[in-house]
Structure 1
Amino acid sequence: MGEFEEHFDKREVGLGNCARPYGSPCQHEHACIRCPMLQVNPKMLSRLAELEKDLLMRRKRAQAEQWLGEIEGIDLTLTFLRSKRSDAARTRREPVHLGLPLSRAEGD
């Protein structure tokens, strides 16, 4: 398999697809939820809910320990997560039946 094809085979990640261009490096190194190139698959909305729950638990601990940097990082991740969830939910729609097209002669 060529390098070009391999690039696109590696674009599928746990939450959806990585849309970064061919030949570009990954700047987020396994922090996909913060990456603007992540396209979340609507089927993974339940996984996003699990991740949010985990982040909220981690935030609560960070508050108790007064880890201000950790709180800031978690808040940023939560912002990205909620935005991606909103985007994925918008794309999750039922198909619309448009019917069969009619020729102009039939439609008159």
Structure 2
Amino acid sequence: GVTAQAKRMIDRCQALWARKYVLKKSSMWKKGTTKKKGWFLSVAGSRGAKVFEGAILTVRYFFDALNVEYTGELIFRRIDAQGAIKKHPSALKEAFEAGQRLAAD
């Protein structure tokens, strides 16, 4: 799943989901605004193949409520200790490149 802090923010956006699906009202973004894009970035200490499935689904629904296009994710397993991501052979490069692609769109 997602962290408690992220879940708290997602839960606070329940009203936006209700606005979209219950009240059938338009997006909170101004008309004519290009659709926002979002990426999901996460790490987990586990090496399990399915460790991110619940979190990805949660983030997809969250982005949908915000009318944000889910454009991808960067997920890294076996990152348990503080600062361990710095030792991953490609994580920082992948994150930088993903940020560049997201900013360019």
More helix by share: 1
RCO greater where, 1 or 2, for CA within 8 Å and sep 6 or more? 2
Q: Same fold (TM over 0.5)?
A: no
More strand by share: 2
Superposition TM-score, scaled by structure 2 size = 0.27
